[in-house]
Homo-oligomer: A and B are copies of this chain.
Amino acid sequence: MSVSEGARPDPSRVRLVGFDADGTLTERGIFWDDHGKGLRRFDVRDGIAMQWAARAGLAVVVISGKDSPALGARLEELGVPGFQGVLDKPACLETFARERGIPLADCAFLGDDLPDVPVMRRVGYPMAVADAHPIVHAVAAWHATSPGGYGAAREAIEHLLQASGRWADVLARYDAADLALGAAAGTFE
């Protein structure tokens, strides 16, 4: 039920995927200690997938409306570019994409809540975590089956790599190339 006007959303065109942080890369909870410092929970499988994407030529960027040292440390470990305290997410993504010569029509964005709606309405391939707000689901062209912080980013990246034919390279690295055919999430088990 995408609101993108014109062309039908096409995951195989995506060359850059942006991610919201709180509620998307992390679960929606923040664990506060006595000093007002917040722990955030990231999923290890999201992290490895972001590294796969970068090596496979699918650019990745994180755009957060908040400021969190925990997010900064996490992104530094992963080697993923990120912007924090961003008030205008569409402008931020557009600038980042233009510098790489990528139009917004070839960008995806994974979000969970209302502040993600403006940027999701501008990209060619808007994506929602499973536990996204109903309005976020309404503007998304693709819907993860995993909640934010529990593998939604991983699922999104696998989906984009499969759509553009880059998934087999990842499997080959793990001695699993012969298992590629049935590799769409959920088809085994």
Give Cα A113 to B158, complex, Å. Answer: 13
- From the candidates B39, B174, B184, name the one contacting A39 in the complex (CB within 8 A): B39
Residue of B whose beta carbon sits closest to that of A38: B34
> How many copies of this chain are found per oligomer?
4
Give Cα A176 to B44, complex, Å. Answer: 33
The answer to the question of A149 belonging to the interface, with a C-beta cut-off of 8 Å to chain B, is: yes
Does more than half of chain A's interface fall in helix, strand or loop, or is it mixed?
Answer: mixed
Interface of A with B (CB < 8 Å)?
Answer: 1, 22-23, 27-45, 48, 68-74, 76-77, 113-115, 117-118, 121, 133-135, 137-139, 143, 149-151, 170-171, 174-176, 179, 182-189
Give Cα A176 to B184, complex, Å. Answer: 33
